[in-house]
């Protein structure tokens, strides 16, 4: 019997099973926890609009729906110091690369 499971194995289980469950993201869950779970299930950079859309879809179908604007979500994510969620800013082409 193996003593431990790798992060990749955990992530695969989350993507294939847990993230598909109705209770994976609940309206009473802290906002950053819900965002972290969305990102974890994707395991790739996720845009603010996609995170917002995913939250609204999950929360809209509940008995106690919850709502947050993209602007508020962005402000909260910029202040995150616990989950390590970071904004990825697209690189601008350098002048040297253009010749």
pLDDT attached to residue 64: 66
- Listed by start position, the domains of the chain span 7-80
The yes-or-no verdict on residue 2 having pLDDT over 90 is no
DSSP H stretches of helix in the chain: 7-16, 31-42, 48-60, 70-78
Eight-class DSSP state of 64: S
- pTM for the whole structure: 0.76
Alpha carbon 91 to chain centroid distance? 22
Residue that wins the pLDDT comparison between 95 and 38: 38
């Amino acid at each position: 019997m193996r003593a431990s499971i790798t992060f990749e194995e955990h992530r695969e289980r989350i993507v294939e099973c847990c993230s598909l469950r109705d209770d994976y993201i609940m309206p009473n869950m802290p906002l950053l926890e819900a965002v972290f779970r969305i990102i974890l299930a994707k395991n790739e950079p996720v845009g603010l609009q996609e995170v917002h859309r995913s939250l609204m879809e999950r929360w809209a179908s509940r008995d106690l729906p919850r709502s947050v604007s993209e602007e508020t979500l962005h402000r909260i994510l910029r202040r995150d110091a616990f989950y390590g969620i970071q904004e990825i800013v697209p690189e601008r082409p350098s002048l040297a690369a253009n010749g």
